Structure 1
Amino acid sequence: MRYYNLCIYSPGTDPSSQPVLQFASTTAPKRPGTPQSVPGGSPTDPFDPGALDISFRFTQASLSKAEGSTGGAFVTIKGVDITTINQASNLVNHTLILKAGMSKGLPLSNPNQVGTILHGTIQSSLGNWSGTEMDITFFVSSYQAPELDPTQISYIFHCPRGKSVKEMIKQTTFPAPHKPSIVFKAKEEPIALHDFIGCYTSFKELCVGYGDCWKQMSGNPLTVHISGQTITFLDQFYERPIKKIDFNDLMGQPTWNGKNDITVTCPLRGDIQIGDLISLPSTTNYLGKYSGQFSAQKQTLPKNSSLFSGTFEVTDISYLGSFREKDGQQWQSAITCNPHPSNDKKSLLRLPK
């Protein structure tokens, strides 16, 4: 079954506290003394037949890429009551956390693949009442934005010659109250070969500046990903676990998406994040068991094996969700990735001869 759990918290509130609003596809276990179940259960809890319809579509990408996504998203909840619509404007600057994936109930479901796909700040909220239908739409940024006039905001980054780029990034000047937690998952320790200074008018521009500085000093790319108040910096040499995508999870064959990128489409997964490593299967027989051999006798594209295999690094993830739609492709993750340096380049693309 499809699974989602959307929680909205007051600004500055710990996510472990009680949310202001909550919508979920499962029900939490009954508490002693309560007459009925409440929404907000885990992926293994009972499915709620009366769960409200949710729809969303957004892309998460490394913020260090100038042409990449800015992390903006929209989320619509359909079937809300008039009380929720009336307080739509009061939810601006609140924190929104959306978890999604697949819960128990289908052969391909795996509750372990549920995770947070969006953690950000509501920039605007719109309630709509048309006929007998009521819905509320949230426009969300993937980070905690400063509560200041955007035209007066500036981010300063200065890395003097001879200093550690990593340490200078940690000492970046952020406008209050935007003081995120910085996490580095990078093996490299680049030293500035020359002075690098930048003054940026948006958080996106600041992250692009981080990437430019790192690239100039080390010659390698830097991945920047933010979730809520935590910014993660990741390089390609940092060791992390490889997450497996089985052949029967694929929605069609992986496809080329640029010079070195491929796109893999699968049921919506919340356990894969920007910068993660994923592995694609080699070949499989008709019983679904993997085999290391590939037949050179086939003259058509294989229908029971992936055209690509090996290890890839995730660069972009596009989420598409429409909870009540019958089409299975309306609850999916489109993962864009490129080959990891550990691969044997000859084994990445497996075409029949």
Structure 2
Amino acid sequence: MKYYRLELTDKNGKTPLDDTGNLIGPFDSSRTPGSALQIQFDALITGYDVVSSGTRISLFGVPISMLRESTQLAGCQVDLIAGFSAGLPLANPNQAGLILSGQIYNPFPVWQGTNQSLNFVINPSPLLNDKGQENSITLDGKKGEKLSDVLNRALTAAYPGFAIEIAISDQLVLPEDAVGVYSRLTQLAAVIRSHSFSYVNRDDYTGVQMVMQNKIIRVFDNEVGDAGGIQILPQELVDQPNWIGMFSVSFKCPMRADLRCGDVVELPQNIISGPGSLLSVNTERSYSSLRDRVNFSGKFLVTSVRHVGDFLNPDNTNSWVTIYEAVVLAKNTT
């Protein structure tokens, strides 16, 4: 079954209250199976050089007392856990988890006819630090330093509450001193990706990307060598994967939280191996030789994750899914 849990906490770590003293959350679909509140969201998680806008979450069916208190929720922490709970044969509850975490930037109520909804615009990056000042990132790199070391030092100082994960090519070495101050991670991400192409001048290199998700900042490129990938099982694919660019592909899975930007995945070769073989049909007229194969397979690096949720929509092929974009791994020429 579809599953979600939406948690709101204020700056003191407590659940906020509406104007009648009732708790605003947590909203957990497993506590009221079959009658959980409708929730809609479209969360795109990709490089900060590509997109910097927040994610909107809409929760329907809440009382008016919560709508009146919506303006007081600005700055609250939001954690959205989603996926599937145990029940259906192919549901994997181990893949459910935290898909979105951030601060409420703009809360607002909507009341149209009989529909009432509480809406949040979530920003994964805190706009202000603990002192109420705007965050700034100071880059102080010296000639000959690895870019990974420079970025780790700068990001650790700018975001002390975040885990920093960097996996980029050792060929990215500063040819000269690099000094700069950036007020937003989007600015730094755009500069670093642009410069990384000049360091590694190859057609199959996709540049350095920065992603912030769930209190983690990941910096990565597609120079990951021959590392093993996370296996995508045949029954975990919704539709066929497709090429969307020269070196990039897109594939869709039932909503899952275990794959993140920067992970290496391996697509299956056919759709009738493992548990999926129970669903296969092989007759003379089924053309199984054409229908049981995935368009292409191999290892790819995830560069974009998009969680699409519409809880009460019965269209399960589109209403509770995660759409991934990935790129071919760069050739190891070192």
Q: Which category describes the TM-score, using the shorter chain as reference length? A: 0.7 to 0.9
TM-aligned CA deviation for residue 338 of structure 1: 1.5
1:181 pairs with 2:162: yes
TM-aligned CA deviation for residue 213 of structure 1: 4.8
Which one of 204, 208, 211 corresponds to residue 225 of structure 1? 211
Gap change, CA 1:288 and 1:229, over 3 Å in 2:
closer
Residue matched to 1:97: 79
Distance 2:84 2:38 in 1: 15
Distance 2:231 2:125 in 1: 28
SS of alignment partner, residue 260 of structure 2: coil
- What do the CA deviations read for 1:163-222 (whole angstroms, capped 9, x no partner)? 34333223328998x544342342644432112233334221122234345554566633
Distance 2:227 2:124 in 1: 23
Distance 2:185 2:168 in 1: 25
Do 2:70 and 2:108's aligned partners in 1 also have CA atoms closer than 8 Å?
A: yes
SS of alignment partner, residue 253 of structure 1: strand
Residue matched to 1:23: 27
Residue matched to 1:132: 114
Residue matched to 2:295: 307
Between 160-169 and 74-83, the greater mean CA deviation after superposition: 160-169
- What do the CA deviations read for 1:36-95 (whole angstroms, capped 9, x no partner)? xxxxxxxxxxx62221000001211122xx3x2225210000001122111111111111
Distance 2:125 2:163 in 1: 13
Distance 1:12 1:212 in 2: 40
Between 93-102 and 226-235, the greater mean CA deviation after superposition: 226-235
Distance 1:62 1:14 in 2: 31
Residue matched to 1:270: 257
SS of alignment partner, residue 283 of structure 1: coil
Distance 1:211 1:326 in 2: 41
Runs (4 or more) in structure 1 with deviation over 6 Å come to: 150-153, 173-176, 298-301
Which one of 200, 204, 209 corresponds to residue 191 of structure 2? 209
TM-score (norm 2): 0.80
1:281 pairs with 2:268: yes
Gap change, CA 1:107 and 1:12, over 3 Å in 2:
same
Q: Which amino acid aligns with 2:300?
A: F
Between 281-290 and 74-83, the greater mean CA deviation after superposition: 281-290
TM-aligned CA deviation for residue 118 of structure 1: 0.8
Which one of 154, 162, 173 corresponds to residue 191 of structure 1? 173
Structure 2 gap segments, 5+ residues each: 16-22, 279-285
Do 2:128 and 2:134's aligned partners in 1 also have CA atoms closer than 8 Å?
A: no
SS of alignment partner, residue 302 of structure 1: helix
Q: Higher RCO, 1 or 2 (CA under 8 Å, sep at least 6)?
A: 2
Distance 2:313 2:30 in 1: 17
Distance 1:272 1:175 in 2: 27
SS of alignment partner, residue 67 of structure 2: helix
Distance 1:206 1:301 in 2: 49
Distance 1:175 1:21 in 2: 33
Residue matched to 2:10: 10
SS of alignment partner, residue 187 of structure 2: helix
Do 2:307 and 2:322's aligned partners in 1 also have CA atoms closer than 8 Å?
A: yes
Do 1:182 and 1:231's aligned partners in 2 also have CA atoms closer than 8 Å?
A: yes
How many residues align? The count is 309
SS of alignment partner, residue 254 of structure 1: strand
Distance 2:198 2:24 in 1: 45
Residue matched to 1:349: none
Do 2:109 and 2:116's aligned partners in 1 also have CA atoms closer than 8 Å?
A: yes
Residue matched to 2:43: 58
Q: Which amino acid aligns with 2:321?
A: Q
TM-aligned CA deviation for residue 226 of structure 1: 1.2
TM-aligned CA deviation for residue 336 of structure 1: 0.7
Structure 1 gap segments, 5+ residues each: 28-46, 291-297, 344-353
TM-aligned CA deviation for residue 26 of structure 1: 0.7
TM-score (norm 1): 0.76
Q: Which amino acid aligns with 1:48?
A: P
SS of alignment partner, residue 109 of structure 2: strand
SS of alignment partner, residue 59 of structure 1: strand
Gap change, CA 1:241 and 1:73, over 3 Å in 2:
farther
- What do the CA deviations read for 1:223-279 (whole angstroms, capped 9, x no partner)? 322124331223432786632222222221111111111110121111111111111
1:259 pairs with 2:246: yes
SS of alignment partner, residue 269 of structure 1: coil
Distance 1:318 1:284 in 2: 23
Between 3-12 and 182-191, the greater mean CA deviation after superposition: 182-191
Distance 1:20 1:240 in 2: 44
Gap change, CA 1:301 and 1:212, over 3 Å in 2:
farther
